[in-house]
Amino acid sequence: MIKKIIIARSKGFCMGVKRAINIAEDTARKATGPVTILNQIVHNEAVVESFRNMGVGQKWSVDEVEGGTLIIPAHGASPDVMAVARAKGLNIIDATCPLVTRICTRIMEVIPRGYYIIHFGDRDHDETKGILGHAPDRITVISNMAELDNYPDWPDRRLGLTVQSTMGIDDFQQFQAAAKKKWPQIETFDTICNATTERQKAIFDMAPGVDMILVVGSETSANSKRMADISKAQCGRSELIGSAVDISEGWFVGDGAGIETVGVTAGASTPDFLVEAVIDTLLALSNGAAEVILQEDLAVLDETAEDTEK
Ligand code: SF4
């Protein structure tokens, strides 16, 4: 039976996601012609659907956009895509997160100084594709440690290491250590964003005190999937759920009857209302008996308990 629900101190919408949604909503309200979002404004089904309901179109390629306004999503787009959009005369509204832009700016600052970039990121992710497009002949994308062996030693190359904004902090540390072994001259430009770091650190801190962690986020969200992986590794039991309807009562009965404390967190593209519905569902499963505690209040509660014992 669920007795405690711990809400992560850092979860849900990040600055870049809020900004992109605000820009897209504002654009949709004011536009007089068709508005299209390239790919997904952020990687969350509920958010994507809300724009669909507002009459905003969605295309996976700029080639399919006939005219009107094109919104570039939070993950950005490559210079090639922007060039095609401009050539088509589209009204471009750029909602790229400034922290994604910062990665591209950093790379484009050091390349003229002779650097080649090793970028640690998911090859298929929109952010990685956009970054790679800035200098495809100078950036090598590596998606996992095993791939390192596929590359030469490049002793004469000046190398810089960048990383996808939503990569796991532990994964990056391991990758960085292996990259430094292979290329001792490589310099790190740590480009994991603060929102990612804070959400992952909250999970590391929460995991020892909970029996299970629910991560609210879409399967399409890289940062939500990473948070679920970290939760599973740290806590042993974790589920990535799109919304409250994905919660199974069976998780908390039978073999799951030992689950008394449930941690709840959410990816950077998950709206608050989805998290609130998850908390409501967990409360209902406890027949309203579970205590809901904010992670940031846990230390205060522990200190109070210690004082009482003294
Ligand atoms: S996760 Fe980081 S880089 Fe991605 S949109 Fe949010 S703040 Fe920007």
Q: Which residue has the higher pLDDT, 5 or 306?
A: 5
Q: Is the pLDDT of residue 28 over 80?
A: yes
196 within ligand 1 shell (Cβ under 6 A): yes
CB atoms within 10 A of CB 27: 18
Tell me which residue has its CA closest to atom 5 in ligand 1: 16
Cα 130 to averaged position of ligand 1 atoms, centre (Å) = 14
Q: Is the pLDDT of residue 164 over 80?
A: yes
Under DSSP, is residue 139 helix (H, G, I), strand (E, B) or coil? strand
Q: Among 291, 285, 287, 266, which residue's Cα sits nearest to residue 276?
A: 266
Q: Is the pLDDT of residue 38 over 80?
A: yes
Q: Is the pLDDT of residue 254 over 80?
A: no
Q: For residues 60 and 67, what is the distance between their CA atoms, to the nearest angstrom? A: 15
CB atoms within 10 A of CB 261: 18
CB atoms within 10 A of CB 282: 20
Angle, alpha carbons 217-223-228 (nearest 5°): 65
pLDDT tens-digit map of 280-291? 999 999 999 999
Whole-number pLDDT of residue 246: 97
Pairing of strands 139-142, 115-120: parallel
Q: Is the pLDDT of residue 308 over 90?
A: no
Percent share of the chain, pLDDT over 90? 92
Q: Is the pLDDT of residue 301 over 90?
A: no
pLDDT tens-digit map of 207-241? 999 999 999 999 999 999 999 999 999 999 999 99
Work out the angle between the directed axes of helices 194-206 and 222-235 (0-180°, nearest 10): 20
Whole-number pLDDT of residue 241: 98
Mean pLDDT score of the chain = 94
- All structural domains of the chain, each given as residue ranges with its CATH number in brackets, are 4-12+194-309 (3.40.1010.20), 15-96 (3.40.50.11270), 99-188 (3.40.1010.20)
Q: Is the pLDDT of residue 111 over 90?
A: yes
Cα 176 to averaged position of ligand 1 atoms, centre (Å) = 21
HSE on the CB side for 186, CA within 13 Å? 23
Cα 52 to averaged position of ligand 1 atoms, centre (Å) = 22
Q: Which amino acid, 270?
A: T
Q: For residues 282 and 267, what is the distance between their CA atoms, to the nearest angstrom? A: 19
Residue located via tokens 């589920």: 239
Whole-number pLDDT of residue 17: 97
Closest ligand 1 atom to Cα of 20: 5
Provide mean pLDDT across the span 266-283.
97
Residue 190's pLDDT band, with cuts at 50, 70 and 90, is: confident
Which whole-number Å values give the CA distances from 278 to 222, 249, 260, in the listed order? 20, 12, 16
Q: Which residues are catalytic?
A: 127
Q: Is the pLDDT of residue 98 over 90?
A: yes
Q: For residues 91 and 81, what is the distance between their CA atoms, to the nearest angstrom? A: 13
At 291, phi and psi to the nearest 5?
Answer: -90, 130
As to burial, measured by CB atoms within 10 angstroms (0-12 exposed, 13-18 middle, 19+ buried), residue 198 is: middle
Q: For residues 49 and 243, what is the distance between their CA atoms, to the nearest angstrom? A: 14
Give the contacts of 108 (CB within 8 A, at least 6 positions apart): 134, 135
100 within ligand 1 shell (Cβ under 6 A): yes
47 within ligand 1 shell (Cβ under 6 A): no
DSSP-assigned beta bridge partners for residue 161: 118, 188
Cα 17 to averaged position of ligand 1 atoms, centre (Å) = 7
